[in-house]
Structure 1
Amino acid sequence: MMKQQFLKHCKEQGYFQNHKKVLLAISGGLDSMTLLDLLYDSQSELQIELVLAHVNHKQRLESEYEEKELEKIAKKLGVKIVTSSFSGVFSEKAARDFRYQFFRKIMQEENCSALVTAHHADDQAETIFMRILRGSRLRYVSGIQDRQPFGSGELIRPLLPFSKSDFPNIFHFEDVTNQESIYFRNRVRNNYLPLLKKENPQLNQALISLGSEIDQLQKALFELTRDIDTTNIQIFRKQSPFVQNFLLQQYLSQFSDLQLSKIQFDEVLHILNTKVNHHYYLKNQYELIQDYQTFKIQKISPKSDLKSDTILLQFGEVLEFGNYYFSFGKKIPNGADQEIIVSRETDILLRYRQAGDKMLLNGHHKKIRRYFIDNKYSLRERKQAIIVEQKDEILAIAGIVTSDLSKYLKHDIMKDVLYIKKIDR
């Protein structure tokens, strides 16, 4: 019965209409073995050729045996299989990044125009619940998309309408690590959702319906705002704050490796509404460039000699800004020139001096301009001065002086240290 439903679903959605050769990611678990069985039996109806890809994560004693067995199965079916072994320090994210990088590579080498994965309805419910717990933005609570651009082709998830309980108990391998509670998804799957299902046995479907409704609302908003020229500053500023928020999120969605924190997102919104001729470093080598008429976000060119006006430093990050290295929470090798007590609850804003800047010194707020004059700092030193700001309060001038506010934080249970070292050029 499931095979007929699966084939009908694939044809209705037109998943493989433009694909002749597809790459199937296969782990050996029930999900991917079920998808292999379905696609293998449907090759002629869907007019596709299969290539299999398997990653050995090297985390279990059984991994080598399972890889060899999958190779035997592929040979028996007459389907090509390509394998790779994970290397490096293992984490869920590192393993996922490794897999998808490998899939991109094989798609190109094997001339496959689509990657197919075995995500199903239970995965969808878990993902939506996990994103709610993490406080993700609404657009991401819509869950996993059944198809999306990937590499030079497309990523397709044809099993999303089907629950794992629908799958026949065919030959597969059991991964015992799926029961380990050290992984967030395992805790959600094995602990949190079963407990909540005692209150609502239809919780999975409720979560999926919520995700679907959010997805529809996002698409409706896109339709209503598609004619707005987002990057035109004057047009952008005429929109309500709610529309601006959506427009900026929609604009940022094109940069898959740029995930801004809420603080950074709000800072970008503030810049777009108040600044002119501004240049702002974001993260992951992206920058915001704004002039009087337009703005754009782009990867930083290695040859760019533009100087960012501001930069956000997140906990655990180390970066170079101006003539200094800044390390939030990590000691600098060979020692720091200045150590500032800060809160690790929020990002640190690094920027150049602005007119009217004041900081708390010796119990009194003093203009930084006056501080420089009194202490006979040169115009060049004043121009190059880096302001360290957190929660809209100036905590220090890099390499020069620390505010009383920083000293007050030494009794804060959420305190940490910002390490600063001057760069010898």
Structure 2
Amino acid sequence: MKDQVLSFIERHQLLHNGATVLVGVSGGADSLLLLRYLLTLKNAWQLHIVVVSIDHGLRGDESADDVKYVESICQQWGVPFIAKQVDVKGRKSVHKEGTQLAARTLRYQVFEETMKEVNADLLALAHHGDDQVETVVMRMVRQSNPSLLQGIPVKRSFANGYIVRPFLCLSKDEIYQYCREYQLVPREDPSNQSTTYTRNFFRLKVLPLLKQQNDQIHQHIQAMTERASEDQNYLESKANDLLENVVSLEENMVFFDIESFKAYPIALQRRAFHLILNYLYQGVPRDLSYQHEADFFALLKQVKSNVSLDFPASLKVTKNYQEIRFHFLEKFDKEWADLQTLKVPSIVSLTNGATLSVGYTSRASHEDHHTLHIPKENQSLFPLRMRVRKPGDRMMVKGLNGHKKVKDIFIDEKVPVYKRDRWPLIFGADGTLLWIVGLKKAEIKENSSSSKYIVLTYTDSNE
């Protein structure tokens, strides 16, 4: 065993000279053997080894006795020992989680806290090859994300150091064999024999069948996960290049040109999709599923100009002509739905961050699509008012002999759907729609002798 595990440690650079190693020990065969093995390396590697054992409070005195047993072993072997206790049942009640998820979450919280307490470089855990097989097969059965074939990582960043798993090269049978050779007497958790838990079902029912076909399956699966990790790391770096070159990332919003995105291979598109979700979500929702991914890729092929998808946690994915946009639904300020009177002079902040200035001027002033001049003698139009669109809004468009629906103007001008309900409209006091700000103006009567005007100026810093 010593040479087999040492070779694995050296290949993956799991230890370094002078490291402080926190070892998670439950009292079972795996973790007792791991502690015993690391102690054989202590002098050669100048390791400082500390043990932490956690009582999950699930089996009353029995689980408390497991921790006391580990403490007694550490006293015999002269290893610093730390005991911790967590309330799994309390967390289950508060967070509505299953037993295993709640226990794992609390366990890793303790690991993180204890690593910081003892300033450990490494946290050594005793996951073995059979655990790896179970994890990969479970994921293949229940999920469809290829990145999950990476399985349990041999080494990963954690707290102020790394988690390392030196026993992923060993099977459970080999661990029991070495426990006998070292004359170790582990304590077994009886819940490990219950198929109530999904992992135990795979461990007790599925893994024995796989081992009938190949008793070294753990070695093959471990090799596969390592290759999958290497491939995933490469593809992830290329997907990040895609994001950098094509995708615009803003606070709570992501958008990109569809054809530019689709120019990349589908494998990178898929990873970029998940990177976008990781960027937007603080924690990816559990109800985000494979179907959301399928809907996204269907959206890329959608021929309609304006289509939207609803994702969990109020995330919208919209196709607006040749643009895809991910954005969270914002709370809409009700005052924008109602008419607001515009004072003269004044400066009004708009919902999109732009401003609208209202003041006096003469006809000599320059006029473009960002400005609107209204002769002061048109008393029926004052005071001016502003709101967002409502169903049925129409405008007598300047240069067009007749009215046109605001909805149709937005479509003709290719205004994205997500902008339409926030677009400011200017009305006269008589209800006449005068200006779809920055977009279209109405026919406004004026005399050739008009010399005084109310001028509205739209300023958008993003343009």
With the length of structure 2 as denominator, give the TM-score of the two structures.
Answer: 0.56
Tell me which moved more, 61-70 or 232-241: 232-241
Residues 110, 138 of structure 1: CA spacing in aligned structure 2 closer, same or farther, 3 A cutoff?
same
2:63 alignment partner in structure 1: 63
For residues 47 and 295 of structure 1, the distance between their equivalents in structure 2, rounded to whole angstroms, comes to 55
Q: 1:175 aligns with which of 184, 189, 209?
A: 189
| Preserved contact between residue 21 and residue 111 of structure 1 (Cα < 8 Å) | yes
1:189 alignment partner in structure 2: 203
**Equivalence map 1:154-165=2 (5 Å):** 154-165=162-173
1:406 alignment partner in structure 2: none
* 1:50 is the counterpart of 2:19: no
* 1:151 is the counterpart of 2:150: no
For residues 13 and 229 of structure 2, the distance between their equivalents in structure 1, rounded to whole angstroms, comes to 20
Residues 354, 206 of structure 1: CA spacing in aligned structure 2 closer, same or farther, 3 A cutoff?
farther
* 1:106 is the counterpart of 2:114: yes
> Radius of gyration: which is bigger?
2
For residues 171 and 247 of structure 1, the distance between their equivalents in structure 2, rounded to whole angstroms, comes to 49
* 1:262 is the counterpart of 2:270: no
2:403 alignment partner in structure 1: none
Shift of 1:27: 0.8
Shift of 1:165: 2.3
1:375 alignment partner in structure 2: none
2:414 alignment partner in structure 1: none
2:28 alignment partner in structure 1: 29
| Preserved contact between residue 52 and residue 81 of structure 1 (Cα < 8 Å) | yes
Q: 2:228 aligns with which of 197, 204, 214?
A: 214
The residue identity in structure 2 corresponding to 1:99 is R
Give secondary structure in 2 for the equivalent of 1:148. Answer: strand
The residue identity in structure 2 corresponding to 1:79 is V
Q: 1:243 aligns with which of 251, 264, 268?
A: 268
For residues 14 and 210 of structure 2, the distance between their equivalents in structure 1, rounded to whole angstroms, comes to 34
For residues 111 and 286 of structure 1, the distance between their equivalents in structure 2, rounded to whole angstroms, comes to 40
1:140 alignment partner in structure 2: 148
Shift of 1:252: 5.2
For residues 78 and 219 of structure 2, the distance between their equivalents in structure 1, rounded to whole angstroms, comes to 38
The residue identity in structure 2 corresponding to 1:190 is L
Shift of 1:241: 3.6
**Percent identical across equivalent pairs?**
28
Give unpaired runs (5+ residues) of structure 2.
93-97, 249-255, 334-388, 392-406, 408-419, 423-463
For residues 133 and 22 of structure 2, the distance between their equivalents in structure 1, rounded to whole angstroms, comes to 25
Shift of 1:224: 5.0
For residues 192 and 72 of structure 1, the distance between their equivalents in structure 2, rounded to whole angstroms, comes to 36
Residues 253, 354 of structure 1: CA spacing in aligned structure 2 closer, same or farther, 3 A cutoff?
farther
With the length of structure 1 as denominator, give the TM-score of the two structures.
Answer: 0.61
For residues 164 and 204 of structure 1, the distance between their equivalents in structure 2, rounded to whole angstroms, comes to 10
Tell me which moved more, 218-227 or 27-36: 218-227
Q: 1:94 aligns with which of 102, 105, 118?
A: 102
| Preserved contact between residue 23 and residue 49 of structure 2 (Cα < 8 Å) | yes
Compute the RMSD of aligned alpha carbons.
Answer: 4.2
Q: Deviations over 1:63-113 (max 9, x none)?
A: 122211211222233322222222123600000000001111111121112
